[in-house]
Structures are given as structure tokens and as C-alpha cells.
Amino acid sequence: MTYAAFLSAVLALLLAPGPTNTLMGLAGAQRGLGRVARLLPAELLGYLTTILPLVFLGGALLAEWPVAAVLLKIAAAIWVMVLAVRLWGLRRDDGAGGEV
């Protein structure tokens, strides 16, 4: 993977909606831009500590064992389905709709 491709992937992750970006949005809404600026290095460090080992170790391992790649994709799909079912069963009165 080239450096430009890696940076593009990291930028795409940062722009995608998710729990971390929700945290950043809420921190900005509650405490202002200064709070977000302090959280940004921690968010980037979290992404890099996850992505770098996956790129350098996981890519080579999954290329060598294609069956492991398929099994990992199946496991990830099952996990997303489990999370979706859990979210579906949550009650709306569990604190949703409160002020920011």
C-alpha cells in the first residue's frame, strides 16, 4: 500500500460517521472547538494503532491464507448483525432525545 493510499483510507475513516465522530460532534456541541481540538490527537492515535498493524501484519497474513480472509469477513458480518439486533431492541426512553 502506498503512502497516498494509506492517507486516503485514514481520511475516509475520519469522515465516515461512527462512534468516535459522534463523540467529537457532541464534544464540540457541548464544550466548543477547544475540546474537539484536544480529542483529535487521541482519535488519530486510536485509528493509527488499529490500522497500522492491520495493514502491515494482517494484509500479508490474509493474502497468504485466503480462507482466513473469508472467515474474517463472515465473522465481521455476524458481529454487525448482532449489533443491529441489539440496537433494534433498545427502548427509546433510555435517555434518547435529551439535550446536548
Domain that holds residue 26: 3-64
Cα 21 to its chain centre, rounded Å, is 9
Whether residue 53 is contained in a domain is answered as yes
Tell me whether residue 31 is in a domain.
yes
Give the total number of structural domains in the chain: 1
Determine, yes or no, domain membership for 100: no
Residues 6+ apart with CB under 8 A from 24: 36, 39, 40, 43
Measured distance CA(23)–CA(10) in Å, rounded: 18
pLDDT, tens digit, 9 for 90 and up, residues 46-89: 888 988 888 888 888 888 999 998 999 999 999 999 999 988 88
Task: Report the alpha-carbon distance of residue 80 to residue 35 in Å, rounded.
Answer: 31
Residue 19's alpha-carbon distances to 22, 38, 60, 64, in angstroms, are 5, 17, 29, 32
Choose among 54, 26, 53, 52: nearest CA to 39. Answer: 26
User: For residue 42, is it within any domain?
Assistant: yes
Does 78 map to a domain? Answer: no
What's the pLDDT at 18?
75
94 is a domain residue: no
Tens of pLDDT, residues 14-57: 777 777 777 777 888 888 888 888 888 988 898 889 888 888 88
Determine the 3-state secondary structure of 60 from DSSP: helix
In a domain, 91, yes or no: no
Is the pLDDT at 13 greater than 80? The verdict is no
